[in-house]
Structure 1
Amino acid sequence: MNAPKLHHYVPQFHLRRFADKNGQLWIWDKRTDRVFKAAPCGIAAETHFYRLTQYEPGGHDPLALEKQLSEMEAEAAIITGQWLDWLPDMASLDTVPISRINRWIVARCLAVQFLRTLDTREILAALIEIECGSPLTPHEAREYHTELIWNPRLIELLARHFRRSIWIFARNDSTTSFVTSDNPMAFRTADNRQWLRVNFLSHGTYLVFPMSPRVILYSYPKKDNPRELGRFANRVSPVVFTDEMAQSENSGQVFMASRFLISKQHQFDAERIFAKTIGTDTYAPPAEK
């Protein structure tokens, strides 16, 4: 059997949930403003992205990390697939049954997803460049990045953060579908005014993660939120989504994406408008008098 060469930094099971009826994804390249179609197997991936070249000379399997990620994805796909099967038939405030082990598996998957993307690799390389005073080669950047993903203490820390948070599932019945991206872990400040790429552990900042075009997962740090929010833990949100609300959550994917926005439909008008505001003060809070 040929060794896998194209390594996905967003799992294919996640991407497939955003495919159209023909199994294709609509992709908006926010750098070039180009829209095209692609199969889930061909997007958010790079050749040998997780290859452990630093361990090859010692005879170790250079694909060990990629194989471990595949095993983790298989478990998470089954668990979250069950949730997505149940949610359409559930009423507002119904509880989604989540066992302790399933919660841990999904929390670990979220932690790894945050670390495994091209965006994280580029940020890490930029930080090391500042420290060392010279840019990294792609080979060096891959080795630093794979070491980061393979750090069990870091994974445990992040997974514990998500596992202990308050999970709320929101359904979207508006005409605007949720989109995802090549960097789908979006973090929003407690006042809902700002999306964050880094410092997501700051007080009150919460995760907004699109699970499908119709379901989004919110993960609120329990220690930073009032007890009243706890009564919604593991439940279906009673909030009825409007198009504007869905577009607001989609703006997080525009902000987080390294390059590609991913949707089940050819409709990126709102995303294009928001992209033009990134780096401006369009949504800045009003100045105090």
Structure 2
Amino acid sequence: MPSHPVNHHFVPQFLLKYFAEQGGQLYVHQWVSGRAFHRNVKEIGQRKYGHSIYRPGQEPDHSSMEAAMGDIEGQAATVVKELVQRRERAVPEHAREALAWLLALQWQRSRFLRHVVSQSVGANNHGLTEKEVQSSMMRLIARSVIWPWKARNDEDAHYKDQWNPLVSVLLSRDMHWACYRPRGGGLIVSDNPLCMSGVVGTPPTGVPAGFFDHGVGIGFTNFRRITVPLGRSLALVISREANEVSRMDVAAINRFTVFNSREFVAHSRQWKQSHPKLARELPYLLKRQQLVAPAFLHGYKPGITA
């Protein structure tokens, strides 16, 4: 047995477990292929050596990035557990900070983002291997997320060394954080927990209005809201509007979850029986995503196998 982890999760296992049934089982919809199957949380949202760094003439580094990401996930897991056990809408300041850094990590380590970056720099045209692209992305994550996160409490560190663009936006005074807690549960999860939707200001030209709810055509400066499913009965709502959470319901949050997914959507096996209305709507959302997504997937292929 290797001394280092082999399967590297780009979706935290602690998060997936809040949607799974006892034993860690999830019912997974791979909407690109139309396939659906049962999987344990250990088997989804991961790639074999997906966070490893490869350097010429050296042994592969399979553990340093996993350990650093695990530190960020660990603090986030603690505050999510705290929020699950609470009943208030308010999100304490320490929880905001931990979750903001987790969301920054999720944004940067997205497999879809890696694909888009690889396409934009012409990796294939320049003869770059997948390992070279992955190593470059890991170094980018280290510079933009890991190092600033470690330096954030260092009084001697320069501000620029503590700065991350998404964390800066999320923790600004313009953002209103709240917990959405549906009494009956019903929330689902996807490969992309950070779900951007809506647009503020002047919409970008050439982007159909409906695409904004798919997280397309918007970014850190002009999203209207971010919804983050944290469990079957808990979602985080971060918005530029103070009362956004009061306008949310389970169906809306699940819609943003499906539309922002790039690989899969998942829920427990009992979800269909306990939430028949939501279950009837899900196939239509998945089909809509399947029809719309080719316009922005840029040839991206999901990595789950049944």
Q: TM class by shorter-chain length?
A: 0.7 to 0.9
| Cross-structure match for 2:192 | 183
| Cross-structure match for 1:163 | 171
- C-alpha separation between the residues in 1 aligned to 2:116 and 2:217? 9
Q: SS of 1:124's equivalent?
A: helix
| Cross-structure match for 2:138 | 146
Q: Is 1:137 matched with 2:129?
A: yes
**CA shift at 1:60, angstroms?**
8.5
User: Residues 177-210 of structure 1, C-alpha deviation per residue, up to 9 Å, x if partnerless?
Assistant: 1111112211001479532145322424221111
CA contact (8 A) 2:28 2:36 kept: yes
**CA shift at 1:263, angstroms?**
0.8
CA contact (8 A) 2:166 2:220 kept: no
| Cross-structure match for 2:228 | 209
CA contact (8 A) 1:213 1:264 kept: no
| Cross-structure match for 2:22 | 21
| Cross-structure match for 2:286 | 275
Instruction: Figure out how many residues of one structure are paired with residues of the other and give that number.
Output: 255
- C-alpha separation between the residues in 1 aligned to 2:90 and 2:252? 25
Q: SS of 2:66's equivalent?
A: helix
Structure 2 residue ranges without an equivalent (≥5): 145-160, 201-208, 273-278, 293-306
TM-score for the superposition, normalised by structure 1: 0.77
Structure 1 residue ranges without an equivalent (≥5): 281-289
| Cross-structure match for 1:122 | 115
1:107 to 100, 103, 116: 100
- C-alpha separation between the residues in 1 aligned to 2:162 and 2:219? 14
1:230-249 map, 5 Å: 237-238=245-246, 245-249=249-253
Q: SS of 1:205's equivalent?
A: strand
- C-alpha separation between the residues in 2 aligned to 1:168 and 1:8? 27
Give the aligned CA root-mean-square deviation in angstroms.
2.8
- C-alpha separation between the residues in 2 aligned to 1:188 and 1:273? 19
Distance 1:120 1:155, change over 3 A: farther
- C-alpha separation between the residues in 1 aligned to 2:84 and 2:188? 16
Q: Is 1:79 matched with 2:83?
A: no
- C-alpha separation between the residues in 2 aligned to 1:60 and 1:9? 19
Tell me which moved more, 7-16 or 203-212: 203-212
- C-alpha separation between the residues in 1 aligned to 2:84 and 2:12? 16
TM-score for the superposition, normalised by structure 2: 0.73
CA contact (8 A) 1:108 1:155 kept: no
Letter in 1 for 2:90: T
- C-alpha separation between the residues in 1 aligned to 2:96 and 2:283? 35
- C-alpha separation between the residues in 2 aligned to 1:161 and 1:13? 25
CA contact (8 A) 1:112 1:155 kept: no
Letter in 2 for 1:160: S
Distance 1:198 1:20, change over 3 A: farther
Letter in 1 for 2:113: T
